[in-house]
Structure 1
């Protein structure tokens, strides 16, 4: 028997984190949502660098342009853009034709035409590289050529002619950063405060919870506005302040869990065996608190994103030319009848991200719950 026990391989147990990761991988919905969130985060962070247009560039000739996989300008838009450019030159079109990706236009005027007038075609978003091909001896008639500048707007453009794709990606960067930043701040403050109140108990718990009740009684939006005024228009500091306000619910949740765990038999048994408070926190309390904390964190991130859109609507949040999903949805809702793509694309990104956060939260709750091991 001794030889068999000596030669048998030792069974290596899994830690809480190893077991949680194995259980999370078995949850297909949670893993798909996790990969989707990673994809959204990656394209939001790196996408604006590779987008065909800057999120601040305005194309005056492409205001409220519908999304399309084919390049602009379309065939029917070339003549319109040409007419507008020639009108700014204060000349009349005699004739024009298109040869491939180039247009040739002959203009006439009652006064000699200045060669510098070709800049009006170059200023158009539809044309580039304008040249004078020929000119009449009296200077009253000029033939010019210009290359058609092809532009791709996969998500269309907004009310001012900015590319919605690049703005949606930049908005994702801002919304996710704000949600995570404020969420982490709220969770850290709430967990520390609630755990302290729950384990201290007695008068300390009473005083700490009465402070929370007083803060609950304050008008939330007034408190946020006061913090915004105090911190200025720096949205990072502003949402650090917002996170410092949203910790109240987290403190109550953690305090209730801590009071419940404190009375459990395994905690009393650990205390009877002489295990210190640090060991009880690491081995028993923290594993049982991770589930509620993670769930609340996944719910807090979309709450902060929605709060940011409300503050931006009031003029206290993200300011132009910066944007966020909440700001884009607010603008799109006002133009849903005439330009529905302004609402559909940012709403899809926001809603799908919120769904993914909820699925990941449910998966983490199941994976981190020691009772389900």
Structure 2
């Protein structure tokens, strides 16, 4: 009788670099929380302005530099000032007014007969709507008007021209995130491909490619931006795509240094001995092993582009009104300290929290994509 031979345990299925990176990234709580926060921030900036109740271009003359509040305007002490301002334009004098819930009644007098269309002046105000005449004196020199109070909520307050700061902060987030991601992706794509090719091929190819990078480094950056504005116009998306095509120089040098070290590794030499094409080695071995530093640099490049955009907008070369960005809002808010500090606080919170999330996510991606930590 023959003895039973125990079966060998089934071989464990191997994991690819991407599957292993995803497993390790999920284990990093700070990176996961940061990724979720960035997704929520992007969704808030894209869809949030639809639910704030204000257009980012709407100006409320009665609420210039209004502090943040959860209550609805106008407050009782604001109604009298709004009435006086609206009726001053109509050249009549208010003698008495009273409020009934969400509606007011005001009596006005004048030395000349009052035009019944005077209610239009109240409708033009940011505080009243639906004005109508309810009583007129026989001589026409006195009239009683009624109007609904137009309720407005400004959770983040308003800016120097009376625009809702919450809406403008969310719309500015669209611009800042779009610019940072577009320019960052363009810079990383060009820099990774260019630097990996230069470092892997080496020799004269590397020498020629890096001397071209040195030539681009020597050109004045602002001069290049001005030329881009001349050729591309005021389309800021196209302009920052082109700006990203200039910011790839640092990325190319970083990836080149990594590629010079990787080309000497045993697995690269083994792939060459097996007859794998140079471009196959670049795609399957060199570029994946440089993704750790690339991910970290990407998270640093996005805030760098956002800050650069605010500088260019200050010079008149970037985002122009009525659009805005976090950098522009912060620059405007810094001029209003301490009288209107909310103009600086809220855009700063949005920007700094996003930068923190990008940094934590970059650290997590670096740890997850580094093959040496597998």
TM-score bracket for the superposition, by shorter chain length: over 0.9
**Counterpart residue number, 2:345:** 344
**Counterpart residue number, 1:323:** 324
Q: More displaced, 237-246 or 85-94?
A: 85-94
Q: SS in structure 2 opposite 1:103? A: strand
User: What aligned pairs does 1:126-137 form with structure 2 within 5 A after superposition?
Assistant: 126-137=127-138
Closer/same/farther in 2, CA of residues 356 and 284 from structure 1, 3 Å limit: same
Distance in structure 1 (CA, Å) of the matches to 2:158 and 2:337? 14
**Counterpart residue number, 2:334:** 333
**Counterpart residue number, 1:223:** 224
User: What aligned pairs does 1:117-128 form with structure 2 within 5 A after superposition?
Assistant: 117-128=118-129
Cα pair 2:68 2:157 within 8 Å, conserved: yes
Provide Cα deviations, 1:100-127, integer angstroms capped at 9, x if missing partner.
1111111111111110011111111111
Across the two proteins, how many residue pairs are aligned to each other? 371
Distance in structure 1 (CA, Å) of the matches to 2:194 and 2:11? 42
Pairing 1:94–2:73 present: no
Q: More displaced, 232-241 or 275-284?
A: 275-284
| 1:4 aligned to which of 4, 7, 15 | 7
**Counterpart residue number, 1:255:** 256
Shift of 1:271: 2.6
Shift of 1:9: 4.4
**Counterpart residue number, 1:244:** 245
**Counterpart residue number, 1:47:** 48
Q: SS in structure 2 opposite 1:53? A: coil
Closer/same/farther in 2, CA of residues 52 and 26 from structure 1, 3 Å limit: same
Distance in structure 1 (CA, Å) of the matches to 2:83 and 2:356? 46
Provide Cα deviations, 1:279-301, integer angstroms capped at 9, x if missing partner.
53344322211111111111111
Q: More displaced, 45-54 or 170-179?
A: 45-54
Shift of 1:182: 0.5
Distance in structure 2 (CA, Å) of the matches to 1:93 and 1:41? 49
Q: SS in structure 2 opposite 1:4? A: coil
Distance in structure 2 (CA, Å) of the matches to 1:94 and 1:335? 37
Pairing 1:293–2:289 present: no
Shift of 1:138: 1.2
Shift of 1:278: 4.5
Shift of 1:255: 0.9
Over 6 Å off, 4+ runs: none
**Counterpart residue number, 1:304:** 305
Distance in structure 1 (CA, Å) of the matches to 2:120 and 2:283? 71
Shift of 1:272: 3.1
Shift of 1:204: 1.2
Q: Which runs of 5+ in 2 are unaligned?
A: none
Closer/same/farther in 2, CA of residues 347 and 252 from structure 1, 3 Å limit: same
**Counterpart residue number, 1:366:** 367
Shift of 1:354: 0.6
Q: SS in structure 2 opposite 1:245? A: coil
Pairing 1:80–2:81 present: yes
RMSD between aligned alpha carbons?
1.4
Distance in structure 1 (CA, Å) of the matches to 2:353 and 2:125? 37
Provide Cα deviations, 1:46-77, integer angstroms capped at 9, x if missing partner.
11222210000011111101110000111110
Q: SS in structure 2 opposite 1:338? A: coil
Distance in structure 1 (CA, Å) of the matches to 2:151 and 2:49? 20
Distance in structure 1 (CA, Å) of the matches to 2:275 and 2:323? 57
